[in-house]
Structure 1
């Protein structure tokens, strides 16, 4: 493997395809941080991370000032060594989103580079457990939508073969949430999964109350019911309800995931490759979850997570939220409601560099001689 001799980083803002609201916020912009790692033989790996509107410039500075220069001259195939070294170099700012996102942009690029050089798709290189995974949709389940709009979107997803739909909950009155779920269940029947997402909106007592009132509808899970750092609250909630509790998109450390699993604070693991720091720690979390006999249903990033879900035996669901269409030429392959793992070498994402260069609000390069 040749040594790394150049790193490019750029930030591309992307507006969501539809209006997105949940119990605590609106998703107005995806700041897409892209890293391209070049080696001395001319091979290139591309990785990325994202924010939902704030912090992208801070991720860029961390990459440009502290992380990318440390890659120059390194052996690109030593992915674990590089990840561990960079994590140590940023120990004063871990565990946290900004550092994890910066690490993820580099780590996913290194995995892409390795997979391209050996001619394997990521899902095979990282484990190769299966070549497809079932899909559920979130894109038509936002909190501002009417009940009828939720029903119409879920019925269309069911017609297309999707296995489930996720809706946001967190209306001011619990009866509003219950009514929306009840009408959705009546419309889709019992053979279609309904997932709910609270976006960390509730106190423990309110989460327990709402979980009890939603139990009759056979939910697939309640996602992020409490602030992600409330471990004890999740333990109490998980013990009080039969509805599976899902966490992970706002957890940034392997050890924090271990605590949640070990102490019975969840039963669904939604680890996000960008927010955990890349593919390297994502796979570790997934295998820890396997040891606890828990499924992995990653959050967002369907274009990347289809490969990771298919890499591990406990990968259960891929979340359908298209977000890279404006800067890629590839599309998620869907067959009978299943996301099919890409067959091309690398991450399986074909980037549209003309579109990226046109949309980039900041582009930086670090090369041999600059570091």
Structure 2
């Protein structure tokens, strides 16, 4: 039977694999919130969400105190209905990141159950557009790295057949960002896609200056130039620059994406399955973006997003930031510059629960 018999949650801290800095913060650790659901017939599904250093215990409390008790006795097949029921229960705290992360941990566990029960991988059950998708590297582009380090990493990615790399921007002067991008562009040539990411560090005037300084070096996109709630500022920037504007990692509901798309403020959507509330709303955002002829290139979570990008027609890129290798038995496969969505039934993550338990903090 598909009736949920048991629902539990835990919090584990996973150390970052390398120093990661951007214009506004450092990646301290991955607070990983796992939800495990077991049905009456013994099928188990595991879902997760994350923070990069704070708030994990708040997500865990919301799950334990309010969401998980509601799941007992419910039919796990009713994924949309359960998402809406949980959302209604937390309406007083939506739209917000803590609630969205909690919903995502449950929703990905329900999708894991759905896929296992169907005997299908997530990439096929969520749409099945294709199994292999382009991947770009972020690990070699952090803000603290020197221009020589950026060039070395970009050349290695190009040699490996990858189609793109990301360079963090947001130095005190736009000329310094431009010099870093110029060094990479001159080294890799015109064919490699070079993304740039300002991590919400700019005012409108700063973003306009930054875009003007970067334009000669053909960035594939300028990501999160301003705070995510400044829709009108992003729309003004999008009208003023030839660089595509990418946003989405700091949005927590499909309605926020709709506002960006309707105003012409986003040329690339970077919806994050954990931060938007799970796979169920992620797919809604992806299809909404397709209706606007906009690409989807999600933020982080490559182990999950590879399957979702493969599922939809407008999925364009997976961001390569390894973070789960310490707690999984397998890692993302990349062949000839393409990330390969797992074929095993489920969401595609083979958790090593002993390793998770070793890092459990709550």
**Could you tell me which residue of structure 1 aligns to residue 145 of structure 2?**
145
Output aligned runs, 1:188-267, within 5 Å.
188-267=188-267
Matched, 1:359 2:341: no
- 1:7 counterpart SS class: strand
Matched, 1:171 2:164: no
Matched, 1:119 2:133: no
Q: CA deviation at 1:353?
A: 1.1
**Could you tell me which residue of structure 2 aligns to residue 130 of structure 1?**
130
The 2-side partners of 1:295 and 1:251 are apart by: 16
Q: CA deviation at 1:2?
A: 2.0
The 2-side partners of 1:2 and 1:269 are apart by: 34
The 2-side partners of 1:159 and 1:344 are apart by: 30
Matched, 1:156 2:153: no
Q: CA deviation at 1:271?
A: 0.1
Q: CA deviation at 1:26?
A: 0.7
The 1-side partners of 2:52 and 2:284 are apart by: 25
The 2-side partners of 1:218 and 1:76 are apart by: 47
- 1:19 counterpart SS class: coil
Q: CA deviation at 1:348?
A: 1.1
- 1:18 counterpart SS class: coil
- 1:104 counterpart SS class: helix
Q: CA deviation at 1:194?
A: 0.4
**Could you tell me which residue of structure 2 aligns to residue 88 of structure 1?**
88
The 2-side partners of 1:2 and 1:262 are apart by: 40
- 1:182 counterpart SS class: helix
Output aligned runs, 1:176-187, within 5 Å.
176-187=176-187
- 1:184 counterpart SS class: helix
The farther-off stretch of 271-280 and 206-215 is: 206-215
**Could you tell me which residue of structure 1 aligns to residue 332 of structure 2?**
332
TM-score, scaled to structure 2: 0.99
The 2-side partners of 1:128 and 1:166 are apart by: 27
The 2-side partners of 1:2 and 1:346 are apart by: 15
Matched, 1:104 2:119: no
TM-score, scaled to structure 1: 0.97
Q: CA deviation at 1:8?
A: 1.5
Post-superposition Cα deviations, 1:250-290, rounded to whole Å, max 9, x if no partner, equal: 01111110010011011000000000000000000000000
Q: CA deviation at 1:128?
A: 0.1
Matched, 1:29 2:32: no
The 1-side partners of 2:167 and 2:297 are apart by: 16
Q: CA deviation at 1:12?
A: 0.8
**Could you tell me which residue of structure 2 aligns to residue 42 of structure 1?**
42
Q: CA deviation at 1:174?
A: 1.1
- 1:45 counterpart SS class: strand
CA-based RMSD of the aligned residues comes to: 0.6
Q: CA deviation at 1:150?
A: 0.5
The 2-side partners of 1:79 and 1:111 are apart by: 7
**Could you tell me which residue of structure 2 aligns to residue 20 of structure 1?**
20
The 1-side partners of 2:216 and 2:164 are apart by: 17
**Could you tell me which residue of structure 2 aligns to residue 368 of structure 1?**
none
| Structure 2, unpaired ranges of 5+ | none
| Structure 1, unpaired ranges of 5+ | 363-371
The 2-side partners of 1:358 and 1:194 are apart by: 38
Post-superposition Cα deviations, 1:323-355, rounded to whole Å, max 9, x if no partner, equal: 000000011011101001111000111110111
**Could you tell me which residue of structure 1 aligns to residue 56 of structure 2?**
56
